[in-house]
């Protein structure tokens, strides 16, 4: 995994999404949006009601995170990824609406992986439990929707060299499946 590091700009260009492969080590820079369980529920409800989501989904990356409160003078508190499978039931709907990338931790359901192939999107895994370290790559943070949800509000983040690994790609590649197969002793 050491060696080549791929720089990725967000929002994601179509060519970037197509060229990324499971196992690629990336550094993401640009604008990303936070959303976890409660925000996903509201975004999907908005889409189903024909209303605009809190941000234009096309090409964007959503980061599954609920940060700790920022101390005075700081941009954000600790901000590592939360477990992604809880968002799986909402994922196909968001990808259909144009979302191109997700950052979280842990594996996805077969239906979510299939939706990534169908709608051409990627899933990046960040290191779970490294929230103090990851927060240093976040340069600005602003709540843009659902403020009443507290830690679960939707935030617009500007990130610089956010470290992640491509976990699922548009061809169905899966780092969890591949990694495990390589190291299991049966």
Partner 1 sequence: MRKIEFQTIVDAAKELCARSASDLPADMERALAAARAREISPAGAEILDALLENARVARDEKRPICQDTGVAVFFIEKGAEAVVAGGTLTDAVNEGVRRGYEEAFLRKSIVRGPLDRVNTKDNTPAVIHLEEVPGDRISIRFMAKGGGCENMSRLAMLTPADGREGVIRFVVGAVDAAGANPCPPIVVGVGMGGTFEVAALLAKKSLFREIGSPNPDSALDSLEREILERINDLGIGPQGMGGAATALAVHVLSHPCHIASLPVAVNIECHAHRSAEVVL
Interface residues with partner 1 (CB under 8 A) are: 1-2, 38, 65-71, 77-80, 82-83, 85, 105-107, 125, 127-133, 135-136, 149-152, 163, 165, 175-176, 178-186
To partner 1, the closest distance from the beta carbon of 50 in angstroms equals: 24
Q: Identify any residues that bridge with 103 across adjacent strands, giving them in sequence order.
A: 63, 124
Checking DSSP bridges between strand 61-63 and strand 25-34, what pairing results, if any?
Answer: parallel
DSSP 63-94: E---PPPPPTT-S-S--PPPBGGGGTTTHHHH
Catalytic residue among 36, 40, 100, 155: 40
To partner 1, the closest distance from the beta carbon of 14 in angstroms equals: 27
Q: Between residues 55 and 85, which has the closer beta carbon with respect to partner 1?
A: 85
Q: Between residues 59 and 163, which has the closer beta carbon with respect to partner 1?
A: 163
Measured at the CA of 131, the angle between CA 127 and CA 132, to 5 degrees, comes to 125
Alpha-carbon torsion, ordered 151, 153, 154, 156, to 10 deg: -60
Q: Identify any residues that bridge with 94 across adjacent strands, giving them in sequence order.
A: none
Q: Between residues 60 and 82, which has the closer beta carbon with respect to partner 1?
A: 82
To partner 1, the closest distance from the beta carbon of 123 in angstroms equals: 12
Alpha carbons 94 and 38: distance in angstroms, whole number: 14
To partner 1, the closest distance from the beta carbon of 125 in angstroms equals: 7
Q: Between residues 1 and 52, which has the closer beta carbon with respect to partner 1?
A: 1
List the structure tokens of 138. Answer: 């976040």
40 is catalytic: yes
33 with 39: CB under 8 angstroms?
Answer: no
Residues that are catalytic: 40
């Amino acid at each position: 995994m050491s060696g080549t590091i791929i720089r990725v700009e967000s929002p994601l260009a179509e060519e970037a999404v197509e060229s990324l492969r499971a196992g690629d080590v990336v550094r993401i820079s640009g604008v990303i949006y936070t959303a976890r369980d409660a925000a996903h529920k509201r975004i999907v409800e908005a889409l189903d009601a024909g209303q605009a989501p809190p941000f234009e989904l096309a090409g964007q990356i959503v980061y599954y995170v609920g940060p700790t409160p920022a101390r005075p003078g700081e941009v954000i508190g600790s901000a590592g990824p939360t477990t992604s499978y809880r968002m799986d039931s909402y994922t196909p709907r968001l990808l259909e609406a144009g979302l191109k990338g997700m950052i979280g931790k842990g594996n996805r359901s077969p239906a979510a992986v299939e939706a990534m192939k169908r709608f051409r999107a990627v899933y990046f895994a960040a290191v779970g439990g490294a929230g103090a370290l990851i927060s240093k790559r976040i340069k600005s943070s602003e709540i843009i929707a659902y403020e009443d949800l507290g830690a679960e509000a939707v935030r617009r983040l500007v990130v610089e060299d956010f470290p992640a690994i491509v976990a699922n790609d548009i061809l169905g590649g899966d780092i969890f499946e591949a990694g495990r197969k390589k190291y299991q002793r049966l």
